[in-house]
Amino acid sequence: MLKTRIIPCLDVKDGRTVKGINFVDLRDAGDPVALAKAYDAQGADELCFLDITASHEGRGTMLDVVRRTAEQCFMPLTVGGGVRSAADLVQLLRSGADKVAINSAAVANPAVITECAAKGGSQAVVVAIDARKSGDTWEIFTHGGRQPTGIDAVEFAAEAERRGAGEILLTSMDKDGTKSGYDIPLLKAITETVSIPVVASGGAGSAQDLAPAVLEGGANAVLAASIFHFGEVTLAEARQALADAGAPVRPFET
Amino acid sequence: MTTLALIDYGSGNLHSAERALRAAASLAGSDIVIDVTSNAGRVARADRIVLPGVGHFADCAAGLRAVDGMTDTLEAAVISGGKPFLGICVGMQLMAEWGLEDGKTPGLGWIAGDVRRIEPDKGLAVPHMGWNGLVLQQDHPVLKNLGDDPHVYFTHSYAMVPANQADIAATADYGGPITAAVARDNLFGTQFHPEKSQRVGLRLLANFLNWDPS
């Protein structure tokens, strides 16, 4: 049986993690490679790096972070942030990423999804959707959630699938940062529309918040940042809470 | 000194496979040299051969056939020469007779059967992406000591359907059994990615490095 993936997400700027990180026994808490190794040892099912670097130099540093992580962590690695073209995708895959998340560029020009899938294969293409409730539907926002687009999130998810995306990374802008649980109605709307895997993101505040995303929302994976970084929830606790609720998880002995 | 040829034909998981094979060699206590190469002569001289692969069957088949002399060399080294061979993901699928992804593309024809789109019922997502348990179908040296209930990382929309059940080394349950590994004589192939399957994956690669099928 396929298991629910638990995916810690690290925001990286100019080669350093930027959201608060509070790992016990970690000498340099800002080094994304050291953090990746710590999550690897705890049995994370996959890692996600979100590159929020603005500068050109920072991009090169990010590629180096991906390379060094891939040398030491033998697990799936998704990298997103600032991916604009198939050339960006190829560069990240060559550095050691397994999947590349495309956000603003895919919304601005969906043909980018087609190009990336043709170049790297569908399994390497994740379309990241940031959505906010707008009346009875959900609207896509880009540029880190600042820019409304007028595009319907459910319709766009279906288009992303048609164009060859292998996975949707779905972030609720309403829930992000609230620690009040994932946006179940949004998840349901998307997972009932597409047949590709969907990763739930935004809102996890406790280990108990994870299972509803899977069991009610239909997500294949749960992504979270701060609950893991601050040590509020360990990966073992996350696995246990999912298993207790009836969502299958991978057995992992630390 | 023994060498392993890791075939470079433009596959996306080449470097991940290289890094994991180096780690596996250290785990296996082996001083094998990993030679990443697109040179058929060097493949012919290697003691073991690994064919990675990711993405599209037809693209990978075309990529492999575009390397001068490579398919003939593989035929001679693996089928006639009996060298231990490991295919990973599409590198495993290429052992089949045919790939049915966007038309019908011939594979290497080493394992009778086709590579077909997986069509799980019960609303299961495709690609089959994530960690799934291995159900061992053969008592095979490459699948030894993987621990209780070993889980490995899959990401694929197509899977091999071997004509002979005896060629299936392991399956995974995804709305029914799908082929997770194939094995016959000196051939071994994994649909999943051992290079991305943490300790279980490194152990499997280490087993391959120590495997003597002769």
Complex-level ipTM: 0.94
CA distances to A5, A21, A97, B37, B53 from A38, in Å: 17, 12, 18, 33, 29
Residue A121 is given by DSSP the state -
In the predicted structure, residue A81 carries a pLDDT above the cut 70? yes
Residue B39 is given by DSSP the state -
**Residue predicted with more confidence, A234 or A22:** A234
The reply to whether A136 belongs to the active site is no
Sole residue written with tokens 């969907």: A198
Which of A45, A88, A98, A130 is an active site residue? Answer: A130
In a domain, A157, yes or no: yes
In the predicted structure, residue A209 carries a pLDDT above the cut 70? yes
Q: What does the alpha-carbon distance between residue B20 and residue B3 come to, in Å, rounded to a whole number?
A: 15
Residue B191 near residue B178 (C-beta atoms within 8 A): yes
List, in order of start, the domains of chain B with CATH numbers.
Answer: 3-210 (3.40.50.880)
Task: Determine contact: B22 vs chain A, CB below 8 A.
Answer: no
Which of B18, B60, B89, B128 is an active site residue? Answer: B89
Q: Which of A71, A77, A123 would best serve as a mutation to test chain B binding (most B beta carbons within 10 A)?
A: A123
Determine, for residues B125 and A196 on separate chains, whether the beta-carbon distance falls below 8 Å. Answer: yes
Chain A residues whose CB is inside 8 A of the B131 CB are 2-3, 5, 45, 250
**Residue predicted with more confidence, A129 or A121:** A129
Total domains present in chain A: 1
- A27: confidence class by pLDDT, cuts 50, 70, 90: low
Residue A154 near residue A138 (C-beta atoms within 8 A): yes
Q: Which of B118, B129, B132 would best serve as a mutation to test chain A binding (most A beta carbons within 10 A)?
A: B129
In a domain, A71, yes or no: yes
* CATH number for the domain that contains residue A58: 3.20.20.70
**Residue predicted with more confidence, A234 or A143:** A234
Which of A11, A51, A98, A183 is an active site residue? Answer: A11
Determine, for residues A122 and B131 on separate chains, whether the beta-carbon distance falls below 8 Å. Answer: no
In the predicted structure, residue A24 carries a pLDDT above the cut 80? no
Parallel, antiparallel, or unpaired: how do β-strands A16-17 and A5-13 relate?
antiparallel
- Quick one: pLDDT at residue A232? 87
With left for phi above 0 and alpha for psi between -120 and 50, is residue A195 left, alpha or beta?
A: alpha
- Quick one: pLDDT at residue A58? 78
Determine, for residues B151 and A220 on separate chains, whether the beta-carbon distance falls below 8 Å. Answer: no
In a domain, A137, yes or no: yes
Q: What does the alpha-carbon distance between residue A84 and residue A87 come to, in Å, rounded to a whole number?
A: 8
Q: Which amino acid is at A125?
A: V
Domain that residue A43 falls in: 5-245
In a domain, A231, yes or no: yes
Nearest Cα residue in chain A from B151: A250
Q: What does the alpha-carbon distance between residue A160 and residue A95 come to, in Å, rounded to a whole number?
A: 25
CA distances to A35, A81, A94, B205 from A75, in Å: 14, 20, 15, 14
In a domain, A254, yes or no: no
Residue B58 near residue B93 (C-beta atoms within 8 A): no
* Cα within 13 Å of Cα(A98), Cβ side: 29
Alpha-carbon radius of gyration of chain B: 16
* CA distance, residue B155 to nearest chain A CA (Å): 6
- Quick one: pLDDT at residue B61? 95
Determine, for residues A74 and B124 on separate chains, whether the beta-carbon distance falls below 8 Å. Answer: no
Q: What does the alpha-carbon distance between residue B142 and residue B139 come to, in Å, rounded to a whole number?
A: 9
In a domain, A251, yes or no: no
- A25: confidence class by pLDDT, cuts 50, 70, 90: low
The reply to whether B56 belongs to the active site is no
Among A27-41, A161-175, B99-113, which is the least confidently predicted range? A27-41
What sign results for the dihedral spanned by CA atoms A108, A113, A119, A120? positive
In a domain, A250, yes or no: no
Helical pair A184-191 and A153-162, crossing angle rounded to 10 deg: 40
- Quick one: pLDDT at residue A23? 55
In a domain, A108, yes or no: yes
Per-residue pLDDT reduced to its tens digit, B92-132: 999 999 999 889 999 999 999 999 999 987 789 999 999 99
**Percent of the residues in chain A that have a pLDDT greater than 70, as a whole number:** 95
- Quick one: pLDDT at residue B121? 78
Task: Render A43-110 in DSSP notation, one character per residue.
Answer: T-S-EEEEE---SHHHHHHHHHHHHHHHHH--S-EEEESS--SHHHHHHHHHHT-SEEEE-HHHHH-T
Task: Measure CA A225 to chain center.
Answer: 9
Below-70 pLDDT ranges, chain B: none
Determine, for residues B129 and A220 on separate chains, whether the beta-carbon distance falls below 8 Å. Answer: yes
- A26: confidence class by pLDDT, cuts 50, 70, 90: low
